[in-house]
Homo-oligomer: A and B are copies of this chain.
């Protein structure tokens, strides 16, 4: 695709402005950080009860910092694209609309949810906000970035079938995206809605085909039969599959979690035994962490695992919300092995082999019982409440052979899982955009296509501008994670923004469909239901904001 840059290119170097504006946004976030640090970490270390008391401050700062990092990531994207000759009109319009909007949010109010906005006033940084608004680069975006004209021009190109640059300057990566886009178009998209409506498990055959494509071992090392790729590749796979159906993009989530738990913490025997089976899809894992009374506060897990005289373990307790529990072969179970140590120190991770559902018998194993939890969306794998009654786990089931490490093992793993979830959110957001654009050009009202009305094109343009924001932030978190650094903050940011964007896009997709968006028959209604989960699981939005806000409030000790 060749692009020609026409809009205002002569007068403004928008990429240079974006770089400057992103730095100004970061400086503004730093002002917010200073306020937060002063309030909750006056002595340098975060005071937990102060952080709880001042959540709007701490979480608001998290949202501000997230917005600033998204801007920085998109400025980098534009610069990279330019260097590679891929920066044309649609990229410039996306940049302008996105920057115009997010900078205006920083100054006028960042939506943390539909009824919580964080504004400079709340943090006592109105002066910094005024300074931000006065910055020349920022003010050029505020005045001429996100306007009726730029949104319309962007929407026009989108209607023409263009999309903003998504190349990754890496042949393998671009190939992966293409491959999964084709697979999704051919194998997922045509049936996804029917599978959702039937509330069916995604067919074994599709699981098998995904296994062939390597979905379950993207990040598992090649020596263990995986693709040996990093989190960026995982993002592409998840994004493209989710663009057809969130379930397709989520099938690999539990393999990613188990693969990371074992790859990062397992004994050599555990790695050698489980990883090849996970990578090949022979073993499908399920992630068993949440309990009926324990969701966000995982350190309080109560399910008990007791070592037996023969070295094996017995699990007792109740778990809740366990996705794909029936059709799986391995449970990664967070449980308390030491009841004398309250909090996270008493928790361990068990690798518990289980028997896959057999016919109508969902849970054939002794000591393991389950019942389905019916849900709005995110179907295709099913969620279960599980109960363990002296359920037996083999002697070598303790992850890494080390007790008391379960929580931290899991927290490190959640980094990847949250980045993967952000990628799923972006896929769902694209699904919403695709369906909305299609409908807006097919449906006519008042003698015109819906896409001839600015209220419709405004929505479409913003859907894409926000997707690029969330996507580039997610890729940036993935690159960070691939360097091996702790990145719960970066992962949290990607998850936080991704979930908001997916939800907004799904909501706009329904609105553009009018009454039909409310009909089960239309994909729009499914996308709405699917999108709603993203701000809840893998750490709710409030928990991500907590991780980001506290993490940035003081240097980690």
Contact = CB atoms under 8 A, between A and B. Distances in A.
Interface string A278-322: 000000000000100111110010000000000000000000110
Contacts of A59: 455
Interface in A482-518: 503-505, 507-508, 510-511, 514-515, 517-518
Nearest to A53: B454
Interface in A432-476: 444-447, 453-455, 458-459, 462-463, 466
Contact of A113 (B375, B511, B518): B511
A121 interface: yes
Contact of A532 (B101, B455, B466, B528): B528
Contact of A295 (B52, B515, B533): B515
Interface stretch (A142-150, A329-337, A393-401): A142-150
B148 A56 contact: yes
A115 B518 contact: no
Contact of A52 (B111, B376, B453, B510): B453
Nearest to A459: B115
Nearest to A290: B515
Given A111-B111, A115-B462, A511 B533 contact: no
A353 to B, nearest CB: 26
B454 A519 contact: no
A454 B536 contact: no
A379 to B, nearest CB: 11
Interface stretch (A7-15, A102-110, A163-171): A102-110
Nearest to A463: B115
A108 B111 contact: no
Contact of A510 (B122, B453, B514, B532): B532
Given A122-B147, A503-B114, A373 B519 contact: yes
Interface residues of A, number: 79
Interface in A115-131: 115-117, 119, 121-122
Interface stretch (A204-212, A219-227, A537-545): A537-545
A352 interface: no
B504 A533 contact: no
A520 interface: yes
Contacts of A378: 518
A265 interface: no
Given A143-B121, A536-B517, A446 B376 contact: no
A114 B517 CA distance: 16
A270 interface: no
A47 to B, nearest CB: 15
A431 interface: no
A459 to B, nearest CB: 6
B119 A104 contact: yes
A158 B533 CA distance: 28
Interface string A517-534: 111110001001100110
Which of A108, A296, A466 is most buried by chain B, counting CB atoms within 10 A of its CB?
A108
A104 B519 CA distance: 36
A54 interface: yes
Interface of A: 52-57, 59, 101, 104-105, 107-109, 111, 113-117, 119, 121-122, 142-143, 147-148, 290, 293-297, 300, 320-321, 373-378, 444-447, 453-455, 458-459, 462-463, 466, 503-505, 507-508, 510-511, 514-515, 517-521, 525, 528-529, 532-533, 535-537, 540-542, 545
6 contacts: A56-B454, A56-B458, A116-B455, A116-B459, A374-B519, A511-B541
